[in-house]
């Protein structure tokens, strides 16, 4: 008696059914290639960062100078008020009622002027501070926009697929830090940019002396 074999059609179906299961297995995830960047270092050492820092410092210095100017004006008004108060105290015994009333009216007027100036100064400073903050934010965006291509170039050159800011990690091996590479690439690109030659003017010919008049 012959043993019954497995029908070929059933065997083929079983192999075909098993094939999709093998093909649908998810591919292995890529191995992470990690790097970190210290943006404070890039900002402090790169030529682009130094230009940005100077612009920010100039804006803050302008704001500080304006605050000092407003504060000085208020301090001067305070000195005038104190002088009037001292004058009223020392002369109160010898002033007539009418003169004393005039002094008090002047003192109250000066106090109102001082209070109004203080309010105006606060509003002016707030407007100046808002304007300075907007300017600094714009400078920050411009710096980020300019430095980003150099970061991307270093990341591609190293084959990095995961980049962290230095402040977000507790420890990293120095070999993972790309900050100096970014600085070097950015500075090299800045040096390669053509500089605009300054216009030079030809020296003017000396003026001719008028002939002396004959006597």
d(CA 14, CA 37): 54
Cα separations in angstroms, 214 against 207, 208, 210, 211 = 21, 18, 12, 9
Question: Are 107 and 8 spatial neighbours (Cβ–Cβ below 8 Å)?
Answer: no
Phi and psi, residue 102, nearest 5°: -65, -40
Report DSSP state, residue 127. H
Of 4-8, 137-141, 201-205, where does the model show the most confidence? 137-141
Closest CA to 81 of 59, 55, 111, 49: 111
Domains of the chain: 31-191 (3.30.910.20)
Number of other residues whose CB lies within 10 A of the CB of residue 35: 21
- Listed in order, strand segments (DSSP E) in the chain are 34-37, 162-165
Of 38-42, 93-97, 170-174, where does the model show the most confidence? 38-42
- Listed in order, strand segments (DSSP E) in 81-168 are 162-165
d(CA 96, CA 143): 69
pLDDT tens string 116-174: 999 999 999 999 999 999 999 999 999 999 999 999 999 999 999 999 999 999 998 99
Largest CA distance in the chain: 157
pLDDT of res. 46: 96
d(CA 25, CA 14): 18
pLDDT of res. 201: 44
Task: Read off the pLDDT band of 197 (50, 70, 90).
Answer: low
Closest CA to 113 of 78, 68, 165: 78
Question: Are 142 and 70 spatial neighbours (Cβ–Cβ below 8 Å)?
Answer: no
Closest CA to 43 of 179, 170, 138: 179
Report DSSP state, residue 112. H
Task: Read off the pLDDT band of 13 (50, 70, 90).
Answer: very low
pTM above 0.85, yes or no: no
What tokens does 94 get?
């010898």
């Amino acid at each position: 008696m012959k043993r019954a074999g497995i029908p070929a059609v059933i065997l083929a179906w079983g192999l075909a059914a098993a094939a999709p299961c093998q093909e649908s297995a998810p591919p292995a995830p890529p191995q992470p290639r990690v790097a970190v960047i210290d943006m404070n270092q890039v900002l402090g050492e790169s030529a682009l960062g130094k230009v940005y820092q100077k612009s920010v410092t100039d804006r803050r210095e302008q704001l500080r100078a304006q605050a000092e100017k407003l504060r000085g004006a208020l301090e001067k008004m305070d000195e005038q008020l104190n002088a009037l108060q001292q004058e009223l105290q020392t002369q109160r015994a010898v002033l007539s009622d009418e003169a004393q009333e005039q002094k008090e009216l002047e003192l109250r007027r000066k106090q109102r002027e001082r209070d109004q100036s203080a309010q105006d100064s606060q509003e002016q400073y707030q407007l100046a501070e808002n304007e300075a903050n907007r300017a600094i934010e714009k400078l920050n965006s411009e710096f980020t926009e300019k430095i980003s291509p150099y970061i991307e170039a270093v990341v591609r050159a190293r084959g990095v697929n995961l980049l962290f800011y230095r402040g977000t990690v507790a420890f990293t091996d120095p070999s993972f830090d790309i900050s100096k590479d970014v600085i070097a690439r950015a500075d090299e690109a800045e040096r390669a940019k053509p500089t605009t030659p300054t216009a030079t003017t030809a020296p003017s010919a000396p003026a001719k002396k008028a002939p002396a008049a004959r006597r």
